[in-house]
Structure 1
């Protein structure tokens, strides 16, 4: 009997310590550097990994990257992989990389940090929720303040990339819609968001994919009553930061901002995958969900080809994918080697002439093709020919998208006729 009571006592103590998480170190140690920012009229500090101090003014920086870790706070690994990518692209000298640590109470206690100075969260920092200490700080407000500091201290900045891996990817996916400060950034700075391998996405509308498809959407017939509430959607239960932004502004931001959905081609496992009913409606795994969500936002919330799927081939769920060659091209666009080709820059080798006047995107394309700068109109006819010149598809451009799922992989030529002129372009079907 005593043995049973002792075992029960040990189990209760262990469970209590596990739940309270009173004293645990960060897995990669506490960074030496601190970001000091003023929020709610109080100076707060966040530990961060970095190659350069965020608080120093520099005229040579043209590229800035804010990178967030996953739920287990491996911020150094995220930072190191992005730094390696910068070195591979020859741009470390003109790039500042900052990777903040989103602290939790057990880390605060382990390192004996001042709770009046260091904000700490539950794991809902990935959704923009408020910190747990007296100076209530949204994790999205932290991003706002980091952006302000980077813009102020780097007057020649050309590109600002805000990214996050796994739970950090969820954070950036939501901030891309809810963040308010990006709208105040000078137009000379290109701002882009890279949401890497989130478990779930924020859908700005009620539609979800039709089962068995990746590019067909409708209001689901489901018993999952909260599938469109925050953090799955914007139908209700928004936190204080997102309520202040407002649903209409969230949808507008998600339409107008440049957002990459990044995922590893081998990220098809279910370990640590959100499997709540609202998550299951988004797809079977991270790779599947990324493809579906990209198709969704391209169809309903895209302007000027600003929604893209970025696949790191051969990578599973790992921060190492930041070093993939096609990923580096997105993070370091000022590199002349990384200028993306456009459909109207290609040459029709059959005719020996340059195709011009229209730009198709995405190019290469998987299933859904759009025409840049041409509004949908039923009077506009399109024709698609294969490499041999045979007509394989035709129709009217009446829905701002052309479905190509019935075409085989290969090179094709498109001709657009609006009754006044004929314009041409080339594209590649993957």
Structure 2
């Protein structure tokens, strides 16, 4: 009887182990068709990624590059799609390279039947820079280093590099901004945008005083690990952060441009870290972002290089990358193509002396007031410029335009105004 029971228990345990080993789940948005490849320990490592352009091709037109990471549920395509839409809205897709790597985990490796010797995969601690689980172990922070090196090598006219992550990806970038050791030329502006992380890295023992968002001191607490990694840097550092060292971490955090990005409605608790070390940082993501920004601005800031970036109207969503004020951070160049963001017309200026009439109009459009020697541009609802000129004449000919709604932007020496009109 004992022998039969032992055999039965062994059978059950083997079955459970086999289930765990064979557990497989697809990536929620499918496996990206593209791969980033680089060498670690003289062995090739592959990382799947979403992108608008291949990262390994040399280009002279790219002036803006973005590396963007997903959250714990690995919706990397959604992060990429929203940033691509933002680039289009700002008229900068043609000069921007956007890459969104996928941090693979074992169940995805199994489902997509990927080679575990060449593809890097992690536990969910990829967000903290830990080593991968495959035989050629690589820190997730080293992956970012390698991507940065590839971008710098292949885009000689690069001017701005933004490294960002959403949710768990935001935790990753918050720590990478402090720990990264990759060398970047001084002529490339680098900024880190940590969007909606659950917890932040505090490089000293101070935390907010309960009930306050801008007063800090070392807390009296029974939470013994609140200042150890991944909450702080006083112990438990992984190999990458240990190689950087506490002194360099503090120096990096002080010298680098870092945005704490958050949706103003991100006040829920879904997927929120509620460990004792996390609770000392605030009650929700929105509050934690505000508190942490106050903290780094007080103790770890140089030349106003720490900012809070609030996406109005958004909760915990990658869609906030399309918010107007957020787009301006990622695509800050004054360079614009003829693609125009028609949403800029959602609030017509009413304080200026120029009006458009008749409206609707058939063949001629008139501008009242002091409108001579002003420039104008007319856009269709898709944002394409269809007419531009100098308004020296008392009227603008529109008879060749198709019937429908249009937007006209009028510029003078002292102001710019936007109007909407209908072509009959």
TM normalised by structure 1 equals 0.74
| Matched position secondary structure for 2:50 | strand
Mapped contact 1:21–1:105 kept (Cα < 8 A)? no
| Matched position secondary structure for 1:93 | coil
Find the counterpart in structure 2 of residue 26 from structure 1.
27
Unaligned runs of 5+ in 2: 1-8, 337-424
Mapped contact 1:81–1:322 kept (Cα < 8 A)? yes
| Matched position secondary structure for 1:282 | coil
What are the residue-to-residue correspondences of 1:220-369 with 2, within 5 Å?
A: 220-335=219-334
Find the counterpart in structure 1 of residue 129 from structure 2.
128
Question: Shift of residue 274 of structure 1?
Answer: 0.1
CA distance in structure 2 between the aligned counterparts of 1:267 and 1:283, rounded to whole angstroms: 13
CA distance in structure 2 between the aligned counterparts of 1:238 and 1:17, rounded to whole angstroms: 33
CA distance in structure 2 between the aligned counterparts of 1:88 and 1:306, rounded to whole angstroms: 26
CA distance in structure 1 between the aligned counterparts of 2:51 and 2:263, rounded to whole angstroms: 25
Distance 1:21 1:174, change over 3 A: farther
Find the counterpart in structure 2 of residue 392 from structure 1.
none
CA distance in structure 1 between the aligned counterparts of 2:334 and 2:129, rounded to whole angstroms: 33
Distance 1:333 1:110, change over 3 A: same
CA distance in structure 2 between the aligned counterparts of 1:166 and 1:91, rounded to whole angstroms: 25
Question: Shift of residue 27 of structure 1?
Answer: 0.3
Find the counterpart in structure 2 of residue 387 from structure 1.
none
CA-atom RMSD in angstroms = 1.9
Mapped contact 1:49–1:79 kept (Cα < 8 A)? yes
**Higher mean C-alpha deviation, range 36-45 or range 246-255:** 36-45
Mapped contact 1:82–1:322 kept (Cα < 8 A)? yes
CA distance in structure 2 between the aligned counterparts of 1:245 and 1:81, rounded to whole angstroms: 33
CA distance in structure 1 between the aligned counterparts of 2:205 and 2:303, rounded to whole angstroms: 23
| Matched position secondary structure for 2:295 | helix
**1:365-409 deviation digits (Å, cap 9, x = unpaired):** xxxxxxxxxxxxxxxxxxxxxxxxxxxxxxxxxxxxxxxxxxxxx
Question: Shift of residue 16 of structure 1?
Answer: 5.9
Question: Shift of residue 61 of structure 1?
Answer: 0.2
CA distance in structure 1 between the aligned counterparts of 2:27 and 2:267, rounded to whole angstroms: 28
Question: Shift of residue 335 of structure 1?
Answer: 2.7
Mapped contact 2:22–2:110 kept (Cα < 8 A)? no
CA distance in structure 2 between the aligned counterparts of 1:263 and 1:245, rounded to whole angstroms: 28
CA distance in structure 2 between the aligned counterparts of 1:19 and 1:265, rounded to whole angstroms: 39
Question: Shift of residue 23 of structure 1?
Answer: 1.1
Question: Shift of residue 39 of structure 1?
Answer: 1.2
1:156 partnered with 2:162: no
Find the counterpart in structure 1 of residue 90 from structure 2.
89
Question: Shift of residue 214 of structure 1?
Answer: 0.2
* Paired residues, number: 328
CA distance in structure 2 between the aligned counterparts of 1:334 and 1:320, rounded to whole angstroms: 22
CA distance in structure 1 between the aligned counterparts of 2:257 and 2:278, rounded to whole angstroms: 24
CA distance in structure 2 between the aligned counterparts of 1:16 and 1:215, rounded to whole angstroms: 50
CA distance in structure 1 between the aligned counterparts of 2:185 and 2:22, rounded to whole angstroms: 43
Distance 1:17 1:227, change over 3 A: farther
Distance 1:217 1:90, change over 3 A: same
Unaligned runs of 5+ in 1: 1-7, 338-430
CA distance in structure 1 between the aligned counterparts of 2:19 and 2:224, rounded to whole angstroms: 31
CA distance in structure 2 between the aligned counterparts of 1:18 and 1:258, rounded to whole angstroms: 46
CA distance in structure 2 between the aligned counterparts of 1:214 and 1:309, rounded to whole angstroms: 13
| Matched position secondary structure for 1:326 | helix
What are the residue-to-residue correspondences of 1:44-83 with 2, within 5 Å?
A: 44-83=45-84
Find the counterpart in structure 1 of residue 351 from structure 2.
none
Mapped contact 1:177–1:250 kept (Cα < 8 A)? yes
Mapped contact 1:89–1:335 kept (Cα < 8 A)? no
